[in-house]
Chain A
């Protein structure tokens, strides 16, 4: 049974691992995987991979106060558990036990002993100061990390905002005679902007930049500048075209550094919207 329809589930283990199966397909896959050792092993392995994905996110420290809230919530449930489930272990907090048997006079004596023990108190205060300084240092480092992370995250969010726009269209750009191996893909949202990815771009001469153009009925409009990495790849996020224009395509040329208002150099990549 499992072997006969196994082929129908080739992609399902991966989709299950990233949570992309709709409910009915998930149920079908779970039923199959219970009978199929290969799928069970594959989904276990791919789930392990999926669980590591968050490590790639910018890591941001939770607010300081959250730790106390989490622990206080657990303490609250333990008080409830303690009465019903842990008969032997259920004990009131130390201070309540203490006050239970201490007379008022004994309490006064205890207070006197505590204040007499001023040396120990000062020592504790110093310990607290050291811990406070440590906490402040950690807070400072966390803030620096958060600033760096939010900068990184802003760039990623800008790209993602384009890619999940409801009006997203894709434009494939083909290499022109000056660079036949080059390819490019543009993801264009009229409302949110443009994500452009290219590979196999020839290295730029000194003092030159690639410039991406929106092709319109009239003069091409600059979409922005970019430079590929050493392997000829580039990914950039750029502004959307002006509201009044409807691009019919995109093209890439090499221009002097800083860009030019209208293309002057050879075209390296071009593609039509559809």
Chain B
């Protein structure tokens, strides 16, 4: 729904002018996705709620600084939430927090903002689920261990008892396959 994306951008502009109703609007549209993601990573309702609250506090503070060329708002919220949830998970497991986990450390212009908008629309949920289900099991597991458990490729290789090169290749193949299925590219 490109309409939701346009509405998101309008809401972000209102947010930069400290319009509180814009925050409520973004919350109503995206809190479910963000909460589900935080819950998946942290498996704890209280921690997941805290992450949602932190993300929207950050959005409230930084709406004016958000670069719209960088991709859509939902994607931005997803990366903020993942980053905060993984930080918490690492603290809980007493693993070293990776500095610089903040998304967009690299100034990544969004290569395909239009396709991205389409991908993030809620109507794509079914397509994403089907695309994930269609991946070979180890590609899928490796991607999930990285994205939801915050493991590095070295840790994934140890966990799955696979050679490092195999794990790297599987993650790449998996993401390329997902991209192909989601954009209809070959």
Contacts and interface: CB of A to CB of B under 8 A. Distances in A.
Contact of B175 (A49, A71, A74, A170): A49
A81 B101 CA distance: 28
A56 B129 contact: yes
B47 interface: no
A67 B152 CA distance: 34
B171 to A, nearest CB: 5
B61 to A, nearest CB: 7
Interface string B109-124: 1111001100110101
B128 A52 contact: yes
Contact of A66 (B31, B57, B86): B31
Interface string B121-133: 0101100110110
A66 B49 contact: yes
B128 A18 contact: no
For the residues of B in contact with A, the DSSP-based class is helix
Contact of B171 (A14, A58, A78): A14
Nearest to B105: A30
Contact of A55 (B28, B107, B120, B150): B120
A146 B38 CA distance: 15
B92 to A, nearest CB: 15
Contacts of B169: 11
A169 B161 CA distance: 8
Contacts of B60: 73-74, 77
A269 interface: no
Nearest to B129: A56
B32 A23 contact: no
A258 to B, nearest CB: 28
B89 to A, nearest CB: 12
A47 B75 CA distance: 9
Given A10-B172, A55-B122, A60-B39, A30 B106 contact: yes
Interface stretch (A36-44, A94-102, A242-250): A36-44
A139 interface: no
A19 B109 contact: no
Contacts of B129: 55-56
A43 B112 CA distance: 11
A200 B183 CA distance: 28
A153 B60 CA distance: 32
A30 B152 CA distance: 16
A20 B151 contact: yes
B79 A51 contact: yes
Instruction: Name the residue in B31, B36, B71 with the highest tally of chain A Cβ atoms < 10 Å from its Cβ.
Output: B36
Contacts of B151: 20
B100 interface: yes
A22 B98 contact: yes
B179 interface: yes
B27 A67 contact: yes
Nearest to B111: A44
A197 interface: yes
30 contacts: A10-B172, A13-B172, A17-B175, A19-B147, A20-B153, A22-B98, A22-B152, A26-B100, A30-B105, A40-B106, A40-B108, A44-B112, A47-B79, A47-B108, A48-B112, A49-B182, A54-B82, A56-B125, A56-B132, A57-B36, A57-B40, A62-B35, A63-B49, A66-B31, A70-B52, A86-B18, A163-B160, A166-B159, A169-B161, A235-B137
Given A10-B172, A11-B168, A43-B108, 9 more contacts: A14-B168, A18-B146, A34-B106, A44-B110, A52-B120, A55-B129, A77-B60, A166-B159, A170-B161
